[in-house]
Amino acid sequence: MEGWSTRREQVDKGRVGVRCRRGGLALCGFVRDLIELVGRRALSPERYSRSLHYRPRDSSAAQKFSSVVSNSMAHTQYLKTQSHASFCTSAAKLDSEEGDEEPQRINVTFVDKDGEEKHISVPEGFSMLEAAHDNDIDLEGACEGTMACSTCHVIVMDEDQYNKLPDPVDEELDMLDLAFGLTKTSRLGCQVIAKRELDGLRLALPSATS
């Protein structure tokens, strides 16, 4: 009996060991399968794709989402188009300005106090004071065209051309009151601006300045 009991205990222990080993193997297998499953799901391209792209389950939500995406893409394309058009327009304008011809010029004659004449060509937009300085004509302009002196006093020799000039402002009239040899067609040279209708303008320089 004693030997039989010992043998029985060994058999029972062996069965327990087998069951434990089988249970352990089963548990390990389950854990391994679980890890593989989680890994596959985590690394699945489809799952990764779904994480990047929102796909609403509801059809109406999907339509709204699609509409928003389409509008956003259209707006982005519009901004790119406008930016390109603005750049092209600015570049064309710059090229046009660089390629523009020189401004139109008018013929002007300065007559000095000795009656000598000097014919010059003046670009439109230039004052007679600037034109005189560019062509070595003795017209002082001490205040540099700020209407703070009367040293650029000139006399328009043709009354019709004088009438084509804008009326003098108060500051110019105040300075002309101080001018030597003032006439009814006197103006400050800095305020007589070249324009087409003044082509052929003749200006007399007074015999003295003040």
Residue 119's beta-bridge partner residues? 109
Give the whole-angstrom CA distance, residue 145 versus residue 193: 12
CA angle at 25 for the pair 23 and 27, rounded to the nearest 5°: 65
* Per-residue pLDDT at 2 exceeds 60: no
Alpha carbons within 13 angstroms on the beta-carbon side of residue 47 total: 8
Contact 120, 195 (CB under 8 A): no
Can you read off the two tokens belonging to residue 187? 């103006």
Q: Tell me, what's the pLDDT at 96?
A: 46
Determine what percent of the chain is predicted with pLDDT higher than 90.
49
**pLDDT tens, position by position, 18-54:** 454 555 555 556 666 666 655 555 545 555 445 444 4
Candidates 148, 157, 138, 155; CA nearest to 189 is 155
Nearest to 104, CA basis, from 202, 165, 164, 194: 194
Query: How does strand 105-111 pair with strand 117-123?
Result: antiparallel
3-state secondary structure of 122: strand
Look at residue 158 in the predicted model and tell me its pLDDT: 96
98-156 pLDDT, tens digit each: 555 678 999 999 999 999 999 999 999 999 999 999 999 999 999 999 999 999 999 99
166-207 confidence digits (pLDDT tens): 999 999 999 999 999 999 999 999 999 999 999 999 999 998
**What are the structure tokens assigned to 45, written together?**
């391209």
